[in-house]
């Protein structure tokens, strides 16, 4: 059974985990295929020196290459704000750009990033582009995107509150999102209670494996035995 929003302490515990440790730990629960639940390498962190981002997804779909059916004001059309506020804090806005290729214009720059932060968002994930990163970086608002664009072009929201797909990662509204320099992934809510313990075991076993590879301890026999005994921990 899926659980409700996590406590601030539980969220902080997850935020302290690296994306690679988290992904390996999620695999051990076998709740999804190992090639699902995370973005591919086309999405990168705009601020790789910031700590991991954790929050609940509010979902939008946008277009930037063609003008909207009605109106032309980049900042109008604020109904999606209500959807963002319907998601528990901390919030992460997940924006699918439906253009082909995506990212002709950037929906989020300094103004929209400030708006999203005021709405309780800690960051965003998009398969499109962003801009004004030099102005946004000091605010601690995190951004994961395909790249940068100089203009917003015709960027506009045409749909919100539904399932989106970002670089191979499917996201439903309210999904728990983790992002760091390694990438972005969803965390199944039903495993969050046991996830920190499994992550600790994963890190501990990784370290044991690394220690076995040091010159003073290394033998092929020890290495083979370690792999055979706890293969799941060293992925």
Alpha carbon distances (Å) from 44 to 2, 39, 132, 145, 147: 29, 9, 16, 6, 8
Per-residue pLDDT tens over the stretch 96-128? 999 999 999 999 999 999 999 999 999 999 999
Which of 199, 203, 221, 201 is CA-nearest to residue 212?
221
Per-residue pLDDT tens over the stretch 183-222? 999 999 999 999 999 999 999 988 888 888 888 878 888 8
**Residue 223: pLDDT band with limits 50, 70, 90:** confident
Residue 147 CA to residue 182 CA, distance in Å, equals 15
Domains belonging to the chain, first-starting first, are: 8-190 (3.50.30.40), 195-234 (no CATH)
What is the mean predicted confidence (pLDDT) over 63-76?
A: 77
Structure tokens at 211: 């220690």
Buried b (16+ CB within 10 A) or exposed e, 161-190: beebebbebebebbbbbbbbebbbbbbebe
Beta sheet of 147-148, edge-to-edge order: 106-108, 129-130, 147-148
pLDDT value at residue 215: 83
Half-sphere exposure of 129 (CA within 13 A, CB side): 21
pLDDT at 63 over 60: yes
């Amino acid at each position: 059974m899926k659980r409700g929003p996590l406590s601030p302490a539980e969220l902080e515990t997850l935020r302290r985990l690296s994306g690679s440790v988290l992904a390996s730990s999620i695999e051990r629960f076998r709740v999804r295929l190992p090639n699902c639940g995370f973005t591919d390498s086309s999405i990168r962190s705009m601020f790789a020196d910031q700590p991991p981002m954790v929050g609940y997804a509010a979902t939008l779909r946008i277009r930037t290459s063609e003008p909207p059916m009605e109106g032309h004001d980049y900042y109008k059309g604020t109904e999606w704000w209500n959807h963002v506020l319907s998601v528990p804090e901390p919030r992460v806005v997940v924006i699918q750009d439906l253009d082909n290729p995506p990212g002709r214009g950037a929906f989020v720059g300094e103004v929209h990033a400030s708006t999203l932060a005021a709405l309780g968002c800690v960051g965003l994930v998009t398969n499109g582009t962003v801009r004004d990163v030099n102005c946004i970086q000091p605010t601690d608002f995190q951004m994961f995107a395909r790249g940068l664009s100089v203009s917003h072009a015709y960027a506009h929201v045409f749909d919100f509150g539904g399932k989106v797909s970002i670089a191979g990662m499917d996201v439903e509204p309210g999904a728990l999102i983790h992002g760091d320099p390694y990438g972005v992934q969803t965390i199944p809510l039903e495993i969050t209670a046991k996830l920190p313990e499994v992550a600790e075991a994963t890190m501990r076993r990784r370290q044991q494996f690394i220690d076995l590879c040091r010159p003073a301890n290394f033998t092929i026999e020890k290495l083979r035995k370690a792999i055979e005994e706890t293969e799941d921990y060293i992925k």
